[in-house]
Structure 1
Amino acid sequence: MRTLFIADLHLSENNPQITQALFAFLKTETSNVDALYILGDLFEVWIGDDEHTPLMDEVAQQLSHYHKKFNIPIYYIHGNRDFMIGRRYAKQANMQLLAEHYKIDLYGQDVLIMHGDTLCLADKNYQRLRKIIHNPLLQFIFNCLPLNFRKKIGWKIRTASQAKKAYKKGHIMGVTEFEVERLLCLFECSLLIHGHTHKVGRYPVTCKNTNKLRIDVGDWFNQYSFVEVTPTSIDIIIRSIP
Structure 2
Amino acid sequence: MATLFISDLHLDAARPEITALFARFLEGPARQADALYILGDLFEAWVGDDDPSDPGALVARHLRALTDAGVPVAFIRGNRDFLLGADYAARCGMTLLHDPTVVDLYGTPTLLLHGDLLCTADTAYQQFRAQTRDPRWQAQFLAQPLAARLAFAQQARAASQARHGELQAQGMAETIGDVTPATVQDWFKRFGVPRMIHGHTHRPAIHDEGNGRTRIVLGDWYTQGSLLSVSAQDVSLTTLDNC
- Taking structure 1 as the reference length, the TM-score comes to 0.95
Give the direction of change, closer, same or farther, for the CA distance of 1:229–1:144 in structure 2 (3 Å limit). Answer: same
- Is 1:197 aligned to 2:201, yes or no? yes
8 A contact 1:222–1:241 mirrored in 2: no
State the one-letter code of the partner of 2:192: E
Matches within 5 A, 1:17-32: 17-30=17-30, 32=32
Q: Give the structure 1 partner of residue 33 of structure 2.
A: 33
Structure 1 residue runs of 4 or more that deviate by more than 3 Å after TM superposition: none
Q: Give the structure 2 partner of residue 101 of structure 1.
A: 100
Give the direction of change, closer, same or farther, for the CA distance of 1:139–1:36 in structure 2 (3 Å limit). Answer: same
Cα distance in 2 for residues equivalent to 1:221 and 1:144? 31
8 A contact 1:74–1:96 mirrored in 2: yes
Length, aligned pairs only: 238
Q: CA deviation at 1:29?
A: 1.0
Identity %: 38
Q: Give the structure 1 partner of residue 133 of structure 2.
A: 134
Q: Give the structure 2 partner of residue 232 of structure 1.
A: 233
Q: CA deviation at 1:136?
A: 0.5
Q: Give the structure 1 partner of residue 189 of structure 2.
A: 185
CA RMSD, 1 decimal: 1.2
Cα distance in 2 for residues equivalent to 1:31 and 1:57? 20
8 A contact 1:90–1:96 mirrored in 2: yes
Matches within 5 A, 1:79-118: 79-118=78-117
Per-residue Cα deviation, 1:108-142 (whole angstroms, up to 9, x for no partner): 00100000000001111101111111111010011
- Is 1:173 aligned to 2:177, yes or no? yes
SS of the equivalent of 1:42 reads coil
State the one-letter code of the partner of 1:192: M
Q: CA deviation at 1:165?
A: 1.5
Q: CA deviation at 1:234?
A: 0.6
Q: Give the structure 1 partner of residue 55 of structure 2.
A: 55
Q: CA deviation at 1:241?
A: 5.7
Q: CA deviation at 1:185?
A: 1.4
Q: Give the structure 1 partner of residue 170 of structure 2.
A: none
- Segments of structure 2 that go 5 or more residues without pairing to the other structure are 168-172
Give the direction of change, closer, same or farther, for the CA distance of 1:218–1:128 in structure 2 (3 Å limit). Answer: same
SS of the equivalent of 2:34 reads strand
SS of the equivalent of 1:213 reads strand
Cα distance in 2 for residues equivalent to 1:86 and 1:76? 10
Q: CA deviation at 1:237?
A: 1.2
Q: Give the structure 2 partner of residue 45 of structure 1.
A: 45
Cα distance in 1 for residues equivalent to 2:65 and 2:23? 11
8 A contact 1:221–1:241 mirrored in 2: no
State the one-letter code of the partner of 1:86: G
Give the direction of change, closer, same or farther, for the CA distance of 1:231–1:179 in structure 2 (3 Å limit). Answer: same
8 A contact 2:39–2:78 mirrored in 1: yes
